[in-house]
Every structure is written in C-alpha cells, then in structure tokens.
Structure 1
Amino acid sequence: MIRQDERINRMLEYFAGCQFKKVEPIWIPALWNECGYLSALDNKDGEILVDPAGFMVKHLQYLLELSSGYVNIDQTDLDNSVIYCSLLRYTSAWDYNHTGNIQSGTFLKFMILLPMLKKMNVNILYLLPVTQYSHLNLKGDIGSPYAVYSLFDLDENLHDSLLDGMENLTIHDELATLVEACHLLDIKVVLDLIPRVSARDNVFLAEHPEWFYWIDLNVLPGFQPPKIAELEFFAECTPDKLETIYRSEETLVFLNQFRLPPNELDAALWSDLKRRALESGESILPMIEREMGITPAPAHSDWINDVQPIWTDVAFFRLYNDASPLVRSYLPEGQPPYVLFDTIKCNVYPGEEPNRELWNTLIEAASFQLNTYNIDGFRMDIGHTLPVPLQESMFKVIKDIKPTAILISEDLFNRNHREAARTGYNVMLGSGWNIMTDIRVERLEEYLRELPELQIHVFACSETADTPRITSRGGVELARLMTVFNYFLPNGIPYLTTGMEVYEEQPLNCGLGDNTGGADIPKAFFNTMTINWTNESTLLPLLEQLKQIKRQYSNLLKPTNFYLSDSQGDIMIYSYYLKDELFSVCFNLNPEKEQTLKTELIYPGAKKTNLLIESEQGGWNKPGSEETYEMRPYQALVLLMELIK
C-alpha cells in the first residue's frame, strides 16, 4: 500500500503523466465541475465532455488549494456538523461514455464531489457499505450492499479503471485516498460496519457454518417470522411478551423449520463438500442446498408483526451458542439453533455461551478498517441489538485506535437516547425519519419538545437511505421547508441523503415509512441507477444560505436558548432567545393555503424584524405598526428580532 499523506500527490503525479496519452473522453455532470475546468470538449443538457486525466489534474490541484482553508481537527464539533450519506456506487454512477450503460460509481469519481460537499457545509461523510458483497440471492439487478460477503475486502466495482496504470495501487489504497482527500477538507469519514448480519453466502460459511442459523430448504419460499395475533402491529419484543410469543401455534410451526448446522447434521458429507468446493472453486452454499437440503435462515425484523418483508439475501450471525435463559423453558426439547425477535436482540436477551471466535473476528474487522483506511468511526448496523459485552469490547478497541471516533447507533427512536449514550455512542438515528412521515403542527411540536433534553445528537432528517424521498411526500417545496426545519434543531445534526441536493425522487430503499404501498419500484440499494445530477434546480443555494446563517448566529443557537413559540394556525414556530435577540424559524405546514404570520404574536413589542431566509418567496405587509407575512404553502422563514429591553 501507498504511505499515508502521499496518496493525493501520488495520484496527481500519475494523472499529470497521463495527460498527453490518448484516453477516451468522458461525460460528467456539469454540476460536479467545482474546480473550474475550462477545457471541456463539449457541453449539452447539463453535462460536459472532458479529458479524464486533464480534469483529474485540475480537480486534485483544486482540492489541494482548497485544503489550505481547513484544518483537520481530531474532535468533531457535533453541534456544528452536517452529515452527508452516500452509497458510493450510486452517488457517482453515470453513463460516462454515453453508451447507454450506467457505470458504477467509484472511490475516485466520488472525490470529484468533495468541493460540492464543502459548499453544503458537510463535515461528516457517512458511507453506506463499501465492502465486498455476495452475488448469490441478489435483490434487484445488482444486489444489496448489506449482503456482505467479506468484512475484510472491498466491492471490486468501486475500483476505477482510470487508475489501472498506477503502480502498486490496491483498491484499499483507493478508499484510503478518498479518506485522505476528505481529511484535507476537514471531512470525517464514517463507514457502515455490519456486525449483526452477513450475506447468506459469505466467506465464513465454509469454515464456520455454526456461526449461522439453518432451516430446511423446502420452507425457504414462504419463510417469514410468525404473526402473533394477540399482539399489536410493530410491537417491541419486551420480556412481558415472551410467553405470548412462544405459546403461539405460529411460533411452534416457525421453530420446527430450523435444522442443525451442516457440520453437525452430517459431518462426513460436510467434509466432502468442503473438499470439493475447495477443488472446484464453486461456492459452497449451492452445494449444501443441493446435497443436504438446508440453507441459512433469511433475516427478518426484530419487531413483532412488522410489515417489512424478510431480507432474503442476508442471515443473522449466531452470536451466542445457546438460547437466552428467559426463553429456554418455552422451547421444544432438542430445538436446533433458531433466530426470532428475542434472539435478534442479544442486548436484551443474551445467552450464557458467547461465540468468542466470532466476536473476536467482528472486533478484528473494525480494527482492520480503522487502521487500513484511517477512517474516523462507524455507524453500527443494527448495533443496538449487539450483546453489551461485545459492543463494549468493540468500542474499546475502536477508541484505543481512534479516541475521538464517531459512533452512530441505528436506534430508531429518541426515547432510547440515554441507553445509546451510556453504551458509548455519540450520535443516533433517532425519531426524525418517523416524524416526517406525517408532518403536522402537533406532531412536530411534540418531537421538538424532547430534543433539548437528549443526551446524544440525533440525525435531523426528513429522509434516510431507508425511507422514501421527502420530495415524494410533498414535492420540492416540502423538501426545502424540511431542510430549513432540520438545520437549526437542538442536538440535531442536519443529515443529507445523497441526491437531496438535486431533489432526487427515486429512493435508495423504502424499508421505513414506506409511502409506495409496497410498489415494486427501482431502489438504489438493489438496482443500477443514477441520481438526477443534471436537474436545473438544486438545493445548493439554500444550503449555502443556511450554512452562513448558522455560523453567524452560532452563539445564539444553543439548546439552552431553545423554546417553542406558540403556533399560529398551520404555522409552527421554534425559537432561540438570548439577551436582546430572538431567532425564530417559521413553517407554513399547510400544503395548499397561504397563512398569515403575525410577528407581534411571536414576541410582542419587538423593535425590529429582519428576514434572514425564505425557502420560497412570499411578502411582507405592514398595515400600521403590525408586521405580517403572507406565507405560501410549505414555506419556511428564518427571522431575527431585535427586542426592546
């Protein structure tokens, strides 16, 4: 591998040497040309045709120049952070050669977007899985990045062929170079670590089949968790529900589908299968299915009566060799290892025999990724279900390597903030994704009341990679309104899902808050897709405005200064008050009708009201001494009031 701190310069030297060689030009979105490349060979319909070597020289030089304005500080100021979430293969995917075929995004191509991210005030880049994924049991035409084949290898599609001539360069170097480029611009890089599930076909299967749960192959087509009629929809698996779950006939049928791992089911046949797989190079899973009639159980939600379909491409790791003492009395005699709502939640229902070898491997994977790529932390996929001792051991290793590591919990609800903070996380997903599925004054106000008391920062988001796009709920106007709403929340980190900046409507996934009615639409998690980078309208100017205002009033925008102002009909207002200034953010949540905002009702006797930002144009009216503003449907305003003492 190439030494750290030399990678960008080495890559610059390489492309400088390629400039005069005959290399096929490529088309890129004009929006990406932040470096000001002036030698485009052609331009049309929001794209430019460039010599790739010449463009990369200009871009890398620009990155180095831009870096002089930033210092890479170890400790991240979460109060003044913005997170950008990217699925790399999708974010920078494009038809670069205009052949009609979309080429995968790469580590190199994503580097082109970094100056644009800085304009959006991004200082944390959260990368969805970049690890090697399985090509068996594909969802869609490309397969889910969460169907991880190996935690120690990268998706080969993220290699860029433009770098084929660079000596001693590995794909690991390509990711490390991206991280180095991010650090030059004071952007921390957080990877998605997947310690709770793996692809059903994975690198561990041949040597450690006992690390997974197995079912009879014949039940695979209709396999799903039991529906518990006595319990409500989307119920959490709490101890008081265990007897109801395990006394259910559906649960007994479900448990009967599980089988012993192949090495225990038939040791002699298993040894023969391993030998033949090694000799032929064939994946061992199809051989197991053909000759032993079993397969790893597909994963499913840990919530009871959840409508999410099962995850046919991934399987849970078996983190304990035994079942929790709380459920043993309910199990049939001789029950093979199984996975259900409670066994998924190893944090609440641990066994007594940890799978130490597996635990050590997962910890080693985290250490490997930190040391190899010099990243700044992890978002722990389904991390809130990990055994507490495993999570503590993993976090200790992570923090020994990176004391200031950013650790993001996937926990879906703000109410779990104390537990997440106590465990060692400093950021969590939180409830925003759920609140934004039904945007009403009362609902948003309830959400806002709990934010100042949180012991951990949460994503301030109207969409995530797992939800439909906000534009699909209310168009561009709602997307702009919610961008303003999320930018100034106490203990909230503005969170931008890749594509939001150009009002992308196609989702990455719809596992949470689905508004499609289960329609079979393309999703970037599973299908080859591009972001609409040539959209003439973008969110970038508004994001730059928000960045400037937040910096200007940073001393005012503290959780201790936050309070909810009285709503005015469909206009919801939150404010920050300090000394003689009141910073108020106002939202007309009515999708169809204008609403009149009366500033006198926000703070009677305010000396002066300044309009800082409006998401859509409206209009001031000043009859007499009363200031009013006619707010358009789904319009947001940011106001600063000077107060009379």
Structure 2
Amino acid sequence: MIRHNHRVNQMLDYFADCRFPKTEPIWIPALWNECGYVSTLDSKDGEILVEPARFMVKHLQYLLELSSDYAHTDQADLDDSVIYCSLLRYSSAWDYTHTGNIQSGTFLKFMILLPLLKKMNVNILYLLPVTRYSNMNLKGDIGSPYAVYNLFDLDENLHDPLLDGMENLTIHDELATLVDACHLLDIKVVLDLIPRVGARDNVFLAEHPDWFYWIDLNALPGFQPPHIAGLEFFTECTPDKLETIYRSKETLSFLNQFRLPPNELDSRLWNDLKKRALESGESLLPLIEQEMGITPAPAHSDWINDVQPIWTDIAFFRLFKDPSPLVRPYLPEGQPPYVLFDTIKCNLYPGEEPNRELWDTLIEAACFQLKTYNIDGFRVDIGHTLPVPLLESMFKMIKDMKPAAILISEDLFNRNHREAAKTGYNVMLGSGWNIMTDIRVERLQDYLRELPELQIHVFACSETADTPRITSRGGTELARLMTVFNYFLPNGIPYLTTGMEVYEEQPLNCGLGDNTGGADIPKAFFNTMAINWASESTLLPLLGQLQQLKRQYANLLEPANFYLSDSQGDILIYSYYLNDELFSACFNLNPDQEQTLRTELIYPGQKKTSLLLESEQGGWNRLSSEGTYEMRPYEAVVLITELIK
C-alpha cells in the first residue's frame, strides 16, 4: 500500500534546509520528547529548551522511522481502538518563549504529540472544531470553536509561524500534513462537523439570511427559552408535551419575539446594507442590528426547563422552511419562523418543505473536508437533531468517498443505540459521561447491564470535552480507578480527553454534569489555557498495562462472555468467562474506607487466582484467610482465575 508521507517529507526537507531562517529557541514539555532529542540547550521543571528547526528534523525523522511499525488500514477495528479527543489550539498550547504568554497550539506543534499518542495506543484522533470561528460575541478571551464562521475554512491561529518560509503552503496543507502524519502511525482522524448551528454572523448570512431565525434586537438581553410550568427539569420534548408547551403563556411571549428575515422584512434596505458592507468592509450583522433592529436568535438547549445558559455566540440553521405539522395547530396566525425545543429536534419534528439549498451546502462542506484533508470520518455535532433524510444523504456521500468512514453520534444516552446504528453511525457518545457524575455500585451496575446488548460502540469514558474532569471529582486515585473501569467494557471504546493523561483538572467545558456550582472558571473552550504537561505523574504506564491485557485476553473479552458479578459491599465487579478462564475487574468505589474482597464469591469452586493489574502499585494486600484481600479506597484490580475441575 502506498504510504502517504510526501507532505511529511516535504516538511522535513524544509526544516533540514540550511537556508531555514534562524529562529529563537523554544521551551517544550520534556514529556513531548519521544524522539529522544539530545541537543537540548537547557532543561528545568519538566521542560527542555530546543532549537525548533533541529528538533523538528529529529522528530519528523523519528516519526517516519516509527511508521515502519505500523501498516495504515482503511478499516478501524473498533473492538481494539482507543480514541483521543483533542482541541488542537489547547492540546499543544504552551509558553514556548517563556514570556508569560501561552501561545496557541498549531497543526505542526500537535504533530510532536503523535508518538506520545501511540504510546497510549491511540488509533483514532478526534479533533474538536478546527474550522474558522467568529470573533463576534466572544465567550471568554478567545471564543468558542463551535461558533463556526465558515465550514470551508480553518482557524488561522492553527497556522504555525515556523512554517512561514515554506513556499506555497496553505493552512489547508498544514492540516492535511497532520493527517498524513497520523496515517503513518495508523491513527485515523475524525473531525468535528457542525451542521446544526453556526456563528450568529456566519459567512452564509449575507446571501442566505433566511437560513437563520431572527428576533427583535430589544429581546436579545435576557433572551431565553420559556420555562414550562408543570414539566420537570431537563424534560425531553416528546409529542405528548407539545400541547403543554404551546398553551403556556411564556411560550406565547417567547414566540412574539421572532421576526421575519431581513430580506423579507425590508428587501430594499437589506440590499443597501449588503452593498454598504461589501464596499466599506464593515461587518454586516452590526449594520442589520443598527438599521433594522433584528438579530439572529441565540441558540439554546432542546431540553425543556434545562438550566444551561443560552449560547449567545451561535444560532440554529433553519433546516425546514415550515414548522412541523404537529405544532401548526398551536401557532398564532402569521407566526414568523421561530426556534424552540421541537424545531431544534427536527429529526422528530420535521417540516414538509426542506431547505434544500442549505442541506446541499452542509453535505458539500462534509465532502470538502473529507477530500481536502483525507480524514477518516466525522463526529456530527448534535447530529441526532438533524432530519434523518439529511443525515442519510450526507452519510451516503461520505461513504461513497470513504466506505470505512467513522461516524460518531453525539447522542447522550445508550437507549438510542438502535436508532443511531440504523441511521448509519458506528460509534456514539452514549451514557457514560452521565453515569460517571455519580459513581455508586447500583448506578454503575445498571449501566453495565445494558452494554452487551448495544448495537453500536460507545465512548467508554469518565470525562469528555463537555464535562468536568474526573480528577476534579475524586483526585488521581479516582481517575486511575475509572480508567481501569472503562478499558474492558463490552462495546465500549476507551476514550481519552486531552490532558487526562497528566491528570489535568481544568475543564474544556462544563456544559454536562457540572460540578462547579456554575462558578465562572476558565474553560479551554473559551479561554487561553495550557495543559499541565510538566506534571511529574502520568497515566501513561497504566494505559500501557491496560492495552497489553486487553490484547492478551482479546478472545475472552467478548460481549458474549460478559457478566455482572455480585457486588461485595462497595466493591463493584464485572467479569468475562470462557473455557474455564475468568477475567474479573474489581473496584472499591468507597472514597474513604478499605473494603474486603473475597475471590471465592466471584465464582465458586476450586480455582487459582492471579493478580494481573492494580491501579495503585503495592495496594494489593492478602489477609490471613485464603482468597481474601483488602482493597484500598478507590482501588481497582484485575484478576485472572483458572477454574480447576
């Protein structure tokens, strides 16, 4: 098979060229030095000082050498996969110049991390949005990557100044080179596709204002979805709730805030404003707000009585030109286009007149990204709310171009696994993020029972980019315990959020499972931040052990062999049994007290039990009674038992 390494070689030649402009040395985390670069100029506190060009030569040479250990395949083995989720500008952000300022991560700098990812056995890299995002209505100091300004362009901050001298190189080439480098190590690359929302000043606004929902500008301060009396917190918008929603006075007041799109409200003024913006270079949206008194409606949750704040930087695309027939009887006469719980979920509440031009553009964007960067698939942002015909058309185009494409659904609950699989997804987020917010034996047992029956693989994780860090819930001990817990789950793919490998406590976001009480803390989705890469303690050795066990016992660790053992106090146990061999993972979920594990209760009869792994070295203490052990708080152990007949 042809190895697509020409871009990587071109970059290597560029850095090796004696005409490469002299640049100042940079500090990088010592942990990144997987290539064994020895010509460091200085080192201290977990960092090394390097000449960037010389370091990149050594690193790229090492990457090419390392690639001989891997054969890139089109199809990912999801049963033997590990997903690494990265926000590139954050994952490789660092104070490279020691000026006290964190510099953005880049496509090039992230290439330095690839050997480290292989050390963690990563074979799927999931990149949070790398598309160009809006600088208007910023959240935090740099803004959300989900406020996509243009689906056909990339975030210019991900360009690396070290590449300024490389002729004819575009930022699109920089991402394509990163993808090539990943493929050399048999790492599939999945991009975040954002087809449901866009920045409120999205590039589509000028030519397609009717692709958005508009409200009176005076309604913007305090804009929020209606609270529906009589319905509980975080209630799903099912058809039986529609009458309650639309009979509510708050809903009527909410609907009254919506206005026609600017081209329909006043076509002459609209054309004048477009012309003025084009000629003067002014941003179009402020002109619309100033001269027409309307603005795109900020996006909000599709769950009724959700406490999540509205997303002031993004707006929903208007995927249908008409509302669902199910809600038309409840609408005031002449109601302008509006967005609410049901219209957001137009998978369940489609209109009868699709916005075909918008649909075609969204499909075109997916195909553009697939072709331009040679990626391996997409995680579709809130894709479970998209019209099924749109998804089916999009997936057909994607699979025509990439038959083995990885397609990840953001659906938050395992119960929707059949629908996700039927739609064409092969991986979904699932319920893990929610279960791990309240770690108790009964709760985890309920979660485990449903996993073997799933028709689709799910993220096996205790944190995501949208949740607080697991370390913030119970320290490094809990982080290690849950890493072990998630590694052997039936139909689960171990999922690592960037920074988890060094026990990072600062979140990327806290939109789900928030444990901060709503505190206004820095979040990497919106603020300039760096991971604690200089940490002395890492998950790397444990991750290596886990993957070794998973491959060693691959035939045993099949969903058909899985069963849930009886708990012992606060000790949760799940097992796999085949041919008189028993693999058991045991977890003391008590944060404060030791718990006694009796191995004879896991499976009766004569047997020989051996320790395969413990989450904390030296914590495995046998008591006087044979087969009885004391497990420390938040300790995990993995046992292998041979049954003697």
State the TM-score bracket (shorter-chain normalisation): over 0.9
Contact 1:19 1:54 in 2 (8 A): no
Matched, 1:101 2:63: no
Residue 580 of structure 1 deviates from its aligned partner by: 1.8
What is the aligned partner in structure 1 of residue 599 from structure 2? Answer: 599
What is the aligned partner in structure 2 of residue 360 from structure 1? Answer: 360
Correspondence list, 1:570-585, <5 A = 570-585=570-585
The residue type paired with residue 273 of structure 2 is L
Matched, 1:468 2:468: yes
Distance 1:122 1:316 in 2: 34
Residue 22 of structure 1 deviates from its aligned partner by: 2.3
What is the SS of the residue equivalent to 2:221?
helix
What is the aligned partner in structure 1 of residue 622 from structure 2? Answer: 621
Q: Deviations over 1:78-134 (max 9, x none)?
A: 011000000000000001000111100000000000001001010000000000000
Residue 23 of structure 1 deviates from its aligned partner by: 1.6
What is the aligned partner in structure 2 of residue 545 from structure 1? Answer: 545
Distance 2:18 2:355 in 1: 51
Distance 1:64 1:424 in 2: 35
Distance 2:606 2:259 in 1: 72
Matched, 1:66 2:66: yes
Residue 600 of structure 1 deviates from its aligned partner by: 1.0
What is the aligned partner in structure 1 of residue 113 from structure 2? Answer: 113
Structure 1: 4+ residue segments shifted above 4 A? 18-21
What is the aligned partner in structure 2 of residue 342 from structure 1? Answer: 342
What is the aligned partner in structure 2 of residue 631 from structure 1? Answer: 631
What is the aligned partner in structure 2 of residue 10 from structure 1? Answer: 10
For the structure 1 residues 628 and 306, does the alpha-carbon distance in structure 2 shift closer, same or farther, using more than 3 Å as the test?
same
Matched, 1:383 2:383: yes
Contact 2:504 2:531 in 1 (8 A): yes
Q: Deviations over 1:422-452 (max 9, x none)?
A: 0000000000000000000000000000000
What is the SS of the residue equivalent to 1:389?
helix
What is the aligned partner in structure 2 of residue 49 from structure 1? Answer: 49
Distance 2:629 2:186 in 1: 39
Contact 1:19 1:53 in 2 (8 A): no
Contact 2:4 2:184 in 1 (8 A): no
Contact 2:620 2:630 in 1 (8 A): yes
Contact 1:28 1:94 in 2 (8 A): yes
What is the aligned partner in structure 2 of residue 589 from structure 1? Answer: 589
What is the aligned partner in structure 2 of residue 494 from structure 1? Answer: 494
The residue type paired with residue 414 of structure 1 is N
Q: Deviations over 1:541-592 (max 9, x none)?
A: 1001101111111111100110011110000000010102100000000000
Residue 19 of structure 1 deviates from its aligned partner by: 7.8
Correspondence list, 1:518-537, <5 A = 518-537=518-537
Residue 285 of structure 1 deviates from its aligned partner by: 0.3
Residue 606 of structure 1 deviates from its aligned partner by: 4.1
What is the aligned partner in structure 2 of residue 320 from structure 1? Answer: 320
What is the SS of the residue equivalent to 1:204?
helix
Residue 596 of structure 1 deviates from its aligned partner by: 1.0
Matched, 1:448 2:432: no
What is the SS of the residue equivalent to 2:151?
strand
What is the aligned partner in structure 2 of residue 150 from structure 1? Answer: 150
Residue 381 of structure 1 deviates from its aligned partner by: 0.2
What is the aligned partner in structure 1 of residue 477 from structure 2? Answer: 477
Residue 498 of structure 1 deviates from its aligned partner by: 0.3
What is the aligned partner in structure 1 of residue 255 from structure 2? Answer: 255
The residue type paired with residue 290 of structure 2 is R
The residue type paired with residue 322 of structure 2 is D
The residue type paired with residue 532 of structure 2 is N
TM-score by length of 2: 0.99
The residue type paired with residue 503 of structure 1 is Y
Distance 1:66 1:80 in 2: 20
Q: Deviations over 1:181-217 (max 9, x none)?
A: 0000010000000000000011000110000000001
Residue 4 of structure 1 deviates from its aligned partner by: 5.5
Matched, 1:206 2:236: no
Q: Deviations over 1:439-472 (max 9, x none)?
A: 0000000000000000000000100000000011
What is the SS of the residue equivalent to 1:191?
strand
Residue 607 of structure 1 deviates from its aligned partner by: 2.3
TM-score by length of 1: 0.99
Distance 1:322 1:18 in 2: 63
Distance 1:345 1:24 in 2: 52
Distance 1:20 1:212 in 2: 48
Residue 539 of structure 1 deviates from its aligned partner by: 0.6
What is the SS of the residue equivalent to 1:548?
helix
What is the SS of the residue equivalent to 2:315?
strand
What is the SS of the residue equivalent to 1:443?
helix
What is the aligned partner in structure 2 of residue 412 from structure 1? Answer: 412
The residue type paired with residue 74 of structure 1 is D
What is the SS of the residue equivalent to 2:57?
helix
What is the aligned partner in structure 2 of residue 298 from structure 1? Answer: 298
What is the SS of the residue equivalent to 1:222?
coil
Distance 1:216 1:463 in 2: 38
The residue type paired with residue 483 of structure 1 is T
What is the aligned partner in structure 1 of residue 237 from structure 2? Answer: 237
For the structure 1 residues 52 and 331, does the alpha-carbon distance in structure 2 shift closer, same or farther, using more than 3 Å as the test?
same
Contact 1:131 1:148 in 2 (8 A): yes
The residue type paired with residue 637 of structure 1 is V
Instruction: State which drifts further: 4-13 or 65-74.
Output: 4-13
Contact 1:606 1:641 in 2 (8 A): no
Q: Deviations over 1:163-188 (max 9, x none)?
A: 00011110000000000000000100
Contact 1:146 1:198 in 2 (8 A): yes
What is the SS of the residue equivalent to 2:277?
helix
Residue 229 of structure 1 deviates from its aligned partner by: 1.1
The residue type paired with residue 618 of structure 1 is G
Correspondence list, 1:160-239, <5 A = 160-239=160-239
Contact 1:620 1:627 in 2 (8 A): no
What is the SS of the residue equivalent to 2:522?
coil
Distance 1:432 1:208 in 2: 39
Distance 1:451 1:430 in 2: 10
Distance 1:245 1:623 in 2: 64
Distance 2:83 2:203 in 1: 32
Distance 2:54 2:156 in 1: 25
Contact 1:410 1:429 in 2 (8 A): yes
Contact 2:14 2:20 in 1 (8 A): no
Residue 282 of structure 1 deviates from its aligned partner by: 1.2
Q: Deviations over 1:275-322 (max 9, x none)?
A: 000001111000001111100000000000011100000000000000
The residue type paired with residue 620 of structure 2 is G
Residue 623 of structure 1 deviates from its aligned partner by: 2.8
Distance 1:266 1:619 in 2: 75
Distance 2:634 2:501 in 1: 18
What is the aligned partner in structure 1 of residue 130 from structure 2? Answer: 130
Contact 1:502 1:533 in 2 (8 A): yes
What is the aligned partner in structure 2 of residue 560 from structure 1? Answer: 560
Distance 1:135 1:549 in 2: 47
Distance 1:146 1:241 in 2: 30
Contact 2:40 2:50 in 1 (8 A): yes
